[in-house]
Amino acid sequence: AGYAGVDFEPSRVNIYIGSLQVAVNGMSADFSEERAKEILSAKEVEITVDLRCGFEKATVWTCDLTFDYVRINASYRS
């Protein structure tokens, strides 16, 4: 898919923020924004992207994605 040339079907993708499903079969799910806000306010947040095309797993650690962090770095070029 995309530029990576990886073979997967976007219409099969499910996405979860913690235990809250926010995408089903590649489409936005009906979910509680209040519950999402609760989950996202935690110090650590687990986000699962299930491509439904295998059993491999990966862990990614990232940093702060607050509005100010994104705003400050949006124009940064290396």
pLDDT in tens, 28-69: 999 999 999 999 999 899 999 999 998 889 998 887 778 888
Query: Which pair of structure tokens corresponds to residue 31?
Result: 């979910």
What CATH number is given for 2-73 in this structure?
Answer: 3.10.20.340
Q: Is the pLDDT of residue 72 over 80?
A: yes
Instruction: Identify the pLDDT of residue 67.
Output: 85
Query: Dihedral sign, CA of 39, 41, 45, 51?
Result: positive
Instruction: Identify the pLDDT of residue 7.
Output: 82
The model's pTM is 0.75
- 22-59: b (≥16 Cβ within 10 Å) or e: bbeeeeeeeeeeeeeeebeeeeeeeeeeeeeeeeeeee
Instruction: Identify the pLDDT of residue 30.
Output: 97
